[in-house]
Amino acid sequence: QVYDPDCCDRILLKLREYLPKYFGVWSPPTAPNDTYLKLEDVTRKFNKPCIMDVKIGQKSYDPYASVEKIQQQVSKYPLMEEIGFLVLGMRVYHVSSDSYETQNQHYGRSLTKETVKDGISKFFHSGSCLRKDVVAASIQKIEKILEWFEGQTQLNFYASSLLIVYEGSCQATTVRLSDVTLAEKRGVPKGLLAGGDVLEYNNNIHVINSTENGKIEASVSKGLSKFYALHKKRHHSQLSLKVENLEQDNVWKSSTCIAQEHLNGNVLPQLEKVFYHMPAETKESANVDVRMIDFAHVFPSNTKDEGYIYGLKNLITVLQNILDN
The tally of domains found in the chain comes to: 2
Indicate whether 49 belongs to any domain: yes
**Cα Rg of the chain, angstroms:** 23
- By DSSP bridging, strand 226-232 and strand 238-245 are antiparallel
Indicate whether 6 belongs to any domain: yes
Q: How far is CA 262 from the centre of its chain?
A: 30
Q: Domain range spanning residue 34?
A: 1-40
φ, ψ of residue 295 in degrees (nearest 5): -125, 35
φ, ψ of residue 110 in degrees (nearest 5): -80, -10
Using alpha carbons, list the distances in angstroms from residue 87 to 112, 144, 169: 11, 20, 23
- By DSSP bridging, strand 206-210 and strand 155-157 are unpaired
Closest to 272 in 3D by CA, of 174, 173, 135: 135
What pTM does this model have?
Answer: 0.67
* 8-state DSSP, 224: G
* 8-state DSSP, 94: E
**Residues 115 and 78 occupy one common structural domain:** yes
CA separation for the pair 167, 100 (Å, rounded): 13
pLDDT of res. 305: 98
Long-range pairs, 192-201, Cβ under 8 A, ≥24: 195/232, 196/265, 197/263, 197/265, 197/267, 198/265, 198/266, 199/266, 199/267, 199/268, 200/266, 200/268, 201/268
The stretches of the chain forming alpha helices (DSSP H) are 10-15, 67-76, 80-83, 105-109, 116-121, 132-150, 182-185, 267-275, 280-283, 306-324
pLDDT tens, per residue, the chain with 325 residues:
999 999 999 999 999 999 999 999 999 999 999 999 999 999 999 999 999 999 999 999 999 999 999 999 999 999 999 999 999 999 999 999 999 999 999 999 999 999 999 999 999 999 999 999 999 999 999 999 999 999 999 999 999 999 999 999 964 433 333 333 333 344 434 444 444 434 333 444 444 444 444 444 444 444 333 333 333 333 443 433 444 344 444 333 333 333 333 434 454 454 444 444 444 443 444 699 999 999 999 999 999 999 999 999 999 999 999 999 8
Indicate whether 252 belongs to any domain: no
Indicate whether 194 belongs to any domain: no
* 8-state DSSP, 75: H
**Residues 16 and 63 occupy one common structural domain:** no
**Residues 151 and 299 occupy one common structural domain:** yes
For helices 132-150 and 306-324, angle between their N-to-C axes, nearest 10 degrees = 160
**Residues 57 and 165 occupy one common structural domain:** yes
